[in-house]
Structure 1
Amino acid sequence: MNRAAPILAALVLMLQPVLAADVDTENLFGFTEGADTGEEGEQDVFLDTIGRFGKRKAGPGSSRYGVADTKLSYQYDPTGNFSIELGVYGDARRVRNIADLDDKAFATFDGVEVDLKYQFLKGSKDQPFGLAIETRPRFARTLPIEGTGANIFDVETLLQADLQIVPDKVWLGANLSFEGAAGRLRGSGLGDRSSLFTVSNALSVRVGENTFLGPEMRYLRAYDGSYLNRFEGHAVFVGAGLHHRFTEKTFVTLAYAGQVWGRDRDPASAGRSFDLAHFERHNVRVKLGVMF
């Protein structure tokens, strides 16, 4: 038994740098995304659902606003710093007695997306800063707030950065995002153009060998027009993210964010503490991943 102890201690020391290198920051945070890409030739399948809940009531009686945006995607990394992801979307919602929105309940196919990501810098113990850019052109079939049928072309571009503050223990993630959309409502042919600017920051702390937890804050600004033309409203969301690896090849990321402050430019909303016209009161994210 005494002879085995030094051997076990040596194995632990040998494994420690391997565990540190295995931390993939891409899915480490909640709504914020890290700069990492996979290893050359790596393939991934993701099931990513974002739930959005809570809008202002239209009148007396019970009300409900719940939307689940689900993406099923396949990702391939042709090189160690470039990834391609192909995804299909589904939209399920239930809306009842909400201001400025029609009552509805349905689930439908909601378009396709291609994600292209290039990593300029890969973080490590020796060089703790990671930096990447990602663009996400998408064709969608449903307006995100109203749930109205439409043909929409949407492009989101993100600058993603992360920093290993304490080696193998604490990571900081930050995103800067611009998303512009243009489309037409099916049936009426009316145009719809909008854009969104987002800044997000998150911390992730290793609380177990394969478990990470930390706070997150996001600031969002909504605009009328595809290129941040006319300011409509803004909001601050605060929450937390949990990342857990079941095995070396499977993981889950859970996140919650609640709107803690917001303002709508519409004079009818003056004095109200939240912007519930352009954003929801609560956001929840569940992301499952398998690598092979």
Structure 2
Amino acid sequence: MGAYVFPTDTEWAAFLRARPDLDEVNFWLPSTVTFKALQAGERFLFKSKAKAGGRLIGGGLFSGHVTMRVSETWAIYGEGNGCDSPGQLLKRINLYRARNKQEPDPDPTIGCILLRDSFFVEPDDELPVPSTYPGSAVRGRGYSADNGEWSYIEEAFAQMLLSANVPILHPDSDAASFIDGPTRGEPRLFIPRVGQKGFKSLVLSSYHHRCAISGAKITPTLQAAHIRPVSEGGEHRVDNGMLLRSDVHILFDAGYLGIDDHHRLQVSPRLRSDFGNGDEFYSKSGEVIDLPDRKVDRPDKDATMWHMDTIFRAS
């Protein structure tokens, strides 16, 4: 288990603090520097940028890190980017870029630390940063269970959750992350999963903005498809998703297309008999679809077999 404390833009925090319903947010970075300090479901803590060391002001659970253009992150997260318009988001990012002597860009690519179940505490409930936190840490600091201040990080996160009145969520909720503890009702981590917006962002990035079946690259037409729907026990996990063109997504959900346990495209004979069409897909039948680079992100065998057994129109 890990945690990370990161200095937080004052305007970003103030905007989201006033909108507690936006619990799935994009903690954006003005550059494309990667962030690999956490695994999905681990704690991310917001630290104010006050001169006297700052305070812990809230946090959330880490979903993942991707790079996206400003237009893409606005389309997915909207006000979850910490501002009320894409123009304001672009302006703030270009201000940071200017400080780093980078040229303005009408649609720059930025780093996106994707968070779910985010929350903020009231000023009176803010907590001190860990005593060893380096005041000069522009990009924050990570903590793990073998760190001497790990117990403080755990206690601080739990205390802020209680102070923020974070609701106890049911395990079957798409946003489930905390359930009652065995004694005092203190929150504890539940099954790590990403939120719906995080799922879309991570699938888009993992498939390199390209439809896994058709190869289409027109981003507005691409959708993050669940292999096993959430309504049928599926989760917002990259290995339960594929990036598909919108019409391909419809055909997959309707059972006219499927993926076998070797990631090969399967095309139902019903596609031709029902519609007298489908040559685009029959020509690729039996071929391995375009897959993410990381094996862990590729379609899960159990999910694809569930789809083939339950949804695919074999005849």
Q: Same fold (TM over 0.5)?
A: no
Q: TM-score range by the shorter chain?
A: under 0.3
More strand by share: 1
Q: Could you tell me the TM-score, scaled by structure 1's length?
A: 0.28
More helix by share: 2
